[in-house]
Amino acid sequence: MKRILVTGGSGFLGSHLCERLLKEGNEVLCVDNLFTGRKSNIHHLLDNNNFEFLRHDITWPLYVEVDEVYNLACPASPVHYQFDPVQTTKTSVLGAINMLGLAKRLKIRILQASTSEVYGDPEVHPQPESYKGSVSTTGIRACYDEGKRCAETLFFDFHRQHGIEIKVMRIFNTYGPRMHPQDGRVVSNFIVQALKGEDITIYGNGQQTRSFCYVDDNIEGMYRLMNSRPDFTGPVNIGNPVEFTMLELAELIIEITGSSSKLIFLPLPQDDPMQRKPVIDLAKKELDWEPKVDLRTGLISTIAYFDNLLQSDHKV
């Protein structure tokens, strides 16, 4: 049995990871400052004797004894990370320094949940790990994009300078149950608007594309990366290479929900990337991983989650 630290553990991805690690027979220390994470995501785990929750902000040092670290802490949606951009950068940079310091002291393996945002608005499509990115250092998304890029730099410098075992995972658009209903992401926005019968807001002309990975596939990739051979550091793309336009996504959600929602078009936000699609050859080769859940199947369970959530809120 390992004792595993998950920062950001009460968030969307973190709570699913905590579940997976507990099922594998580990003790889990879930750390979160609850800025975007929610206790409701981990409520069902609190009675498990192998699960512990600690409210803490990783921009401050953390002194615990663990065997592995998954560093997921950071607001990940534009609405949340632009709310306090300085704190977002601090979480990525100071948080990485503090967690790497912990890993150095304990001589343990640490995984960084990085992001496809390190590629910015890509000039190469689809994006392989070798692509260096096209990122604005001064735009409204830079606090997240550049914060995550700097965190990757820190991970590799700690690896080279101190011999820390690192794993760096670049996460592409992921969706599923426990997404925050007000996170401003396209899947949650469209689903909530469709279920409420509101107009579905599409930014730009709807032809910009994304690839959507279901949360279970993401967590499987993350788990396999952490447990991969010691000399494989990444970075490695984890995402679904099947591409959809925003119009296709909206129409599919309207079809599944049976909604009467209409589509309306608004101006494209600053620095919003037009294309995003991973090359996953490295993940296939090193992790024997590729996504299994198609978009329709994943949306059905995600819509059911949001439908229950909205009904519960209405009853309250």
Supply the residues annotated as catalytic.
144
Is 127 within 8 Å of 237 (Cβ atoms)? yes
Chain-centroid distance, C-alpha 144: 12
The 3-state DSSP class for residue 204 equals coil
Which residues neighbour 290 within 8 Å (Cβ) at sequence distance 6 or greater?
280, 283, 284
Strand partners, 167: 111
Q: Which helix (H) or strand (E) element contains residue 258?
A: none
| Structural tokens at position 118 | 């390190």
Helices 215-226 and 12-23: angle between axes, nearest 10 degrees: 60
Structure tokens at 91: 């979480």
- Residue 235 burial (C-beta neighbours within 10 Å; 0-12, 13-18, 19+): buried
Question: Helix or strand or coil: residue 295?
Answer: helix
Contact 264, 195 (CB under 8 A): no
The contacts of residue 305 (CB under 8 Å, 6+ apart) are: 176, 177, 178, 179
Cα within 13 Å of Cα(254), Cβ side:
15
CA distance 46 to 89: 30
Q: How far apart are CA 280 and CA 88, in angstroms?
A: 28
Sequence-ordered list of residues with C-beta below 8 angstroms from that of 243, at least 6 positions apart, any chain:
126, 209, 210, 211, 275, 277
Distance CA 253, CA 175 (A): 13
